[in-house]
Structure formats: C-alpha cells, structure tokens
Amino acid sequence: MTDPAAVLDAGDPPVEHRSRLRTTVETVLRNRLAVAGLIMLTVLVVVALFAPLIAPYGINEPDVANRLSGPSLDHVFGTDNIGRDVFSRVVIASRVSLQVGAISVGIAVALGVPIGLISGYYGGRIDSVLMRLMDILLSIPAIVLAIAILAALGPNIFNAMVAIGIVYTPIFARITRGSVLSLRDAVFVRAARSIGATDTRIIATHILPNVIAPIIVQTSLSLAFAILAEAALSFLGLGVQPPDPAWGRMLSEGRGFFQQAPWMALFPGLAILFTVMSFNLVGDGLRDALDPQQRSLIESRGVAE
Amino acid sequence: MNNAVLSVRDLQITFGTRDGRASVVNGVSYDLAAGETLAIVGESGSGKSVSCMALMQLLATPPARVEGEAIFDGRNLLTLDEAGIRKVRGNQIAMIFQDPMTSLNPVRTIGHQLIEPIELHMGLKGKAARERAADLLDAVGIPSAADRLDDYPHQFSGGMRQRVCIAMGISCEPDILIADEATTALDVTTQAKIIDEIHALQSRLGMALVWITHDLGVVAGIADRVIVLYGGRIMEEAAVNELFEGRRHPYTRGLLESLPIPGRERPDKLNAIAGLPPDPLSMPPACPFAPRCPHAVERCSTERPELRHPVPGHAVACHFDPEELYD
C-alpha cells in the first residue's frame, strides 16, 4: 500500500536532465547568423594559429620589381609600395589583432567584474566611490582616453592592450553591478548568509554564477570593439610599431596609395570587417540564448526611437 | 525558566527611514525552552519575521537598529562579532524561509547548496560531505536522494524545494530551527506533510522550533506555546490549548473570529478586524491595538497595559480581565 498523499507529493514531473550549457549551445546553434559568426570565427582562429604556414611570403620580404602590383596569382591581395605581399601581412596581422582583443578584454573583465561585484554587493559609500570613478572613465570618449593612456605609457602594443583594457573596464563594472543589485536582496543570498557563509563565499559561489550570462555576452561584443580600437590606435601609429604588420597600420600606410593601389587598404579593411562581424554575430547569438531580457530591452528601445 | 536555550529580553528594533524612525519591534521578551515549539503569530508588519532575523544579525544595520538582549549559549547574539555570529548561523540556529522558489540559488545544484553548511560547520569534505547531504535529503523524504544531488532547483516542485531547505536547515543539527512562514507558499496537502516532517525531525534531533506564521490553523497543529505579536509588542502568550480555549486578548479573539468556520451559515463572510495595523512611524503611545479594539476605553490610549499573568503560564497585555469582556 502506498500512501496516496505521498504519491501526490512525489508527483514531480520527470524533468529532462538538460544542463544550462547544453541548452545554451542548442539555442545558439539554432540561430543561423550566430552559426555563420561561429564559422567565421573558427576560420579566423585557424588562420591566426597557422599564420606562418599560410603566409606565402615573409612579412618584410620586398619584391621590389613587383611593387604596387594588383592582385595576381603570385600575390593574391597584391603588393604594397615596397613590394611586400599584402596577403601575407594580413594573415600574420590577424595574430596581433586577436591577441590584443583577448588580452585587453581579459584585462577589462579582470578589473571590471570584481569592481562591479564589490560595488553592487556592498552598496553604500564603496559603491558611490567606485561607480563615480567608472563614470569618469566612461565620460571620456573611449579612443581619446586610450590615446591619453598611451601618451602617458608610451606607444607600443603592450601598452595599447592595457589602455584598451582600462577603457572597457567601466562597461564590465556597470553590467556586473546592475545584475548584482537585483540579487543582493534575493532570498537565496539571505539564506546563504543564514547558514553562516562569508561575504566572499556568497559573492563567489552565489552571486557570480548568477551574473555570468550578461558578462559572457558583453565579453564577446567587447572583443569586436577592442579589435576596432586596436586598429584605430595602430592607424594613428600608437599601437603596433613598424615594421610589424597590423590591420590598422596597413590601412594608414595604404591611405597614401589609395588611387594607385586600393588593395593595400582594402584587404586589411575587409579583415577588420570580417573579424568584428564574426564577434558581433556570435555575441548577438549568445545574448539571445543567455540573456533574452536584455535583448528585448534593446530591441524595444530600437523600435521606440 | 532555567532550561531556556534562548532568552530574549526587551528586544527593540527600529528602522531609519526618510520620514523618521520606524519602530517595528518594541520590547519583546520571551524564553525558548530546549525542544519546545514556539509559534509567533501576527499579521503582516507585526514584527514577527524581523524579530527572528535580528537574532541571527541578518538585518542590515543601518537602516535597522537592534537593541536588547538575546542570550544563547551564555552569549548575547545581538552583540556577537561577525565571525562569532557566523559560527552560530546555520550551525546552532538555522532558518527556513517562506518561499522555496526563491530561497535556493537557481544556478547551483541542490548538492552544492546542501553541502555548503556541512563544509562550513562540520568540517566534512568531499565524499563524506556528499554522503551526509544525501542522508539529509533522504531524511526529509526525497526519493532516490543520492541521485538528485546533481539536480538544479528548477527540477524540483515547490514542496520538494522546501524539503531541500529543511534539509539545509537541519544539516548541522541546530539547537534552534526558525521557520519563517515555511509552509505558507505551499498547497494545503504539501503543507500538512511538511509540518509532519519538521515535527518528526524536531523530536528526533531534540531541537527547539520557532514557527513564525499568520496561520492559526497551523499553530493549533504544531505549537506548544504561542506568542501573539501586534505592533511589535507581545499581546498574549500562552500554551496553545490555553490560547484556543481559555482567556483571550481582544486581538487574539479578533484573529480567531476572523477564521472561516466550516458549517457556519455564511462561510464566505469573514469577521475581519476593522481598521489597519498601526503605522510603525507613529505607534500609538499606549496599547497598539486600542484604535481597533471594540472594548477600548480612554485608559487604553493613555496608559500602556503591561503583560500580566492572570493564570500562571498565560500572559496578556490588556487592562481588562478577559472574563470581564466576554461574559
């Protein structure tokens, strides 16, 4: 004999054991644009990883006889004003772009997320001070701030990463803080406190996992921005220093020859477009999967405007 | 009482607000005996939850200000430092919250959350902690407990989640378990089962139970003793049978009369107590219930009735003898 009440109470519908990771991956894969972005990103990463094998010529190997020659079988993207192969330089430069993107966003996450967590969790004066600092950083146009930081630190690629990282820190701090604020008074946080958990433990094991979704989305979108920022800085001569190739540098070098040899600027420009687009598509897909509320918010704002 | 595990004396809690200080608890004193079940009853805003949260220093100070004493294990809980109170929380005094849907972290498995207090207070790690967690789930009546440790809260029903919360509450075999409206969010059959479950665990572990509720029906079924709070003051304190059958404070009487009685002519019409609970920003100076009390006289709004003991073990804060009022 079973207790009928027990049967009632045990009437938990059999739940599918699907992890959050799996559902996220499935949602992303159902989104065609996101899949396109993922494929583009994969191509990009493969190219960057095997760049020295793919590039047919050295980055500083002049073919003076064929300088400023258009795309041909020998030089698929043409050659520049001193006869270097544009394709090889674009391929090699993908490494520095991805590296700058990853490291600078890494810096922004490493600084911004803890600031947001502390600010949102403790509130009060700590919050005011940290957030006003972030506001100051945000109030300066990103590229101007990066130029200022580079002017102080000296122009090289390492400093460019630091500068871009600092510029994007407030974005992560604000996103994290906003999500933490809505959780600070959640019952499960109070419950965690009621079992004797320390603040550090509550932040690390209860709050952080709940705010990770918007951070992931922002990371992927920020990678695109960071790569653009690096291109802009290199264009201005503040990032990668010659003779190393960078897409931004190549744009600026090609500028003077745009009428005679448009391929010099065109192909690095397309590379930037390709990269930024792939990160944006993946980022949008992730946002649809992880953070649908934020998406509808943004979309409704778009309609209202 | 000498066998009290917890002695609360003159507990006062105020909150600083933009419009001034709100006094939410105004001088509450009681003793909790080991193994006893004490029900704290009152309507919303009567200070019942806040007074228990204060015991574990779970109120944010400021805006809250807590005064008085709560002696537990020879120490005043209200003045313990952060490290001290953390050792009490979950270990010696545990709490179950009202809404099982929100009191578990949605992105961590049940196992992780159950193991947390075990690791924190019992020093168990890894496999031992996991085994203990499975035993606990089993103890609160969750079938195939060991397999469910890796499930997330959304894979459990409301009643099941509350069982998980209870398992967390009892995981370190506390001396006192505070259940803050622990069954209010559940349907009636589940409620009855959960109450039975807690009752059984209580007698097995010998812990004292503080049951915060506004549901007098639950009180009748579970409590040994009842404290009726109103406007942050104790209106009446009595053994549960005394309260339901014996002398009553006009407020308690109003509460009991507002319950639906099956078989009464118009069960859809309830005798609500007229008026609203007092505003904590401007508490009536004397009896907080005077403005709503059908028996109030002038004295009630000028002079505060102290808790009197018309019979031993039964305290009433009223100027009148209940017998005078209800004959």
Min distance A211 CA to chain B CA atoms (Å): 10
Rounded Cα distance between B198 and A196, Å, is: 21
Q: Is A259 exposed, middle or buried (0-12, 13-18, 19+ CB in 10 A)?
A: exposed
Residue B180 lies in a domain: yes
Max CA distance (Å), chain A = 95
Rounded Cα distance between B248 and B256, Å, is: 10
Q: Residue A141: which residues within 8 A CB-CB, separation 6 or more?
A: none
Residue type, A239: G
One-letter-per-residue 3-state SS of A40-90: HHHHHHHHHHCHHHHCCCCCCCCCHHHCCCCCCCCCCCCECCCCCEHHHHH
pLDDT at A104 over 90: yes
pLDDT at A7 over 50: no
The overall average pLDDT reported for chain B is 81
In CATH, what number is assigned to the domain containing residue A210?
Answer: 1.10.3720.10
- Name every chain A residue with its beta carbon within 8 A of the beta carbon of B192: 5
Residue A9: band (very low, low, confident or very high) from pLDDT cuts 50, 70, 90: very low
Residue B159 lies in a domain: no
Q: Does residue A79 come out as left (phi exceeding 0), alpha (psi in the -120 to 50 range) or beta?
A: beta
Pairing of strands B4-17, B64-72: antiparallel
If interface means Cβ-Cβ distance under 8 Å, which residues of chain A face chain B? 5-6, 8-12, 15, 17, 20, 186-188, 190-198, 205-206, 209-210
Residue B221 lies in a domain: yes
Rounded Cα distance between B6 and A304, Å, is: 59
Residue B10 lies in a domain: yes
The first and second tokens of residue B125, run together, are: 């790690």
Mutation for A interface: B56, B59, B95, B105, most A CBs within 10 A: B105
With CA atoms as reference, the chain A residue closest to B52 would be A194
Q: How many CB atoms lie within 10 A of CB A298?
A: 12
Residue A158 lies in a domain: yes
Q: What is the pLDDT of residue B297?
A: 77
- Name every chain B residue with its beta carbon within 8 A of the beta carbon of A6: 193
Q: Is A21 exposed, middle or buried (0-12, 13-18, 19+ CB in 10 A)?
A: exposed
Instruction: Pick the most confident of A257-271, B92-106, B142-156, B177-191.
Output: A257-271
Strand order in the sheet with B75-76: B20-33, B4-17, B64-72, B75-76
Rounded Cα distance between A266 and B97, Å, is: 63
Q: What is the pLDDT of residue A36?
A: 92
pLDDT at A14 over 70: no
Q: What's the complex ipTM?
A: 0.76
Measured between its terminal Cα atoms, the distance across chain A in Å is 65
Residue A73 lies in a domain: yes
Query: Is residue A262 helix, strand or coil?
Result: coil
How many domains, in total, are found in chain B? 1
Average pLDDT of the segment spanning B174-191: 81
Rounded Cα distance between B294 and B254, Å, is: 9
**CB-based contact B97 A191, cutoff 8 Å:** yes
Q: Are B76 and B10 spatial neighbours (Cβ–Cβ below 8 Å)?
A: no
Residue A239 lies in a domain: yes
In CATH, what number is assigned to the domain containing residue B306?
Answer: 3.40.50.300
Average pLDDT of the segment spanning B275-290: 79
Domain that holds residue B191: 4-92+172-325
With CA atoms as reference, the chain B residue closest to A4 would be B189
pLDDT at B58 over 80: yes
**CB-based contact A210 B117, cutoff 8 Å:** no
**How many interchain CB pairs under 8 A, A with B?**
86
**CB-based contact A15 B151, cutoff 8 Å:** yes
Q: How many CB atoms lie within 10 A of CB B29?
A: 16
Residue A36 lies in a domain: no
Residue A30 lies in a domain: no
Residue A94 lies in a domain: yes
Q: Comparing A112-116, A177-181, A292-296, B270-274, which segment has the lowest mean pLDDT?
A: A292-296
How many domains, in total, are found in chain A? 1
Query: Is residue B238 helix, strand or coil?
Result: strand
CA distances B42 to B51, B233, B251, B277, B316, Å, are 12, 10, 10, 10, 15
Q: What is the pLDDT of residue B326?
A: 63
Q: What is the pLDDT of residues A188-239, one digit of tens each?
A: 888 888 888 888 888 988 899 888 888 988 998 899 999 999 999 988 888 8
pLDDT at A99 over 70: yes
Residue B299 lies in a domain: yes
Q: What is the pLDDT of residues B12-35, one digit of tens each?
A: 888 888 887 888 888 888 888 888
pLDDT at B167 over 50: yes
Q: What is the pLDDT of residue B325?
A: 67
Q: What is the pLDDT of residue B224?
A: 86
Q: What is the pLDDT of residue B42?
A: 83
Residue A278: band (very low, low, confident or very high) from pLDDT cuts 50, 70, 90: very high
Residue B111 lies in a domain: no
- Name every chain A residue with its beta carbon within 8 A of the beta carbon of B160: 9, 12
Q: What is the pLDDT of residue A15?
A: 46
Q: What is the pLDDT of residue A135?
A: 92
Residue B269: band (very low, low, confident or very high) from pLDDT cuts 50, 70, 90: low
Q: What is the pLDDT of residues A149-164, one digit of tens each?
A: 888 988 888 898 999 9
- Name every chain A residue with its beta carbon within 8 A of the beta carbon of B120: 195-197
**CB-based contact A196 B89, cutoff 8 Å:** yes
Domain that holds residue A236: 50-297
Q: What is the pLDDT of residues A236-275, one digit of tens each?
A: 888 888 888 889 989 988 888 888 888 889 999 999 999 9
If interface means Cβ-Cβ distance under 8 Å, which residues of chain B face chain A? 56, 58, 86-91, 94-95, 97-99, 102-108, 112, 116-117, 120-121, 143, 151-152, 154-157, 159-160, 165, 168, 189-190, 192-193
The first and second tokens of residue B314, run together, are: 């039964």
Residue B320 lies in a domain: yes
> Which is nearest to B54 in space by CA: B28, B73, B34, B36?
B28
Residue B288 lies in a domain: yes
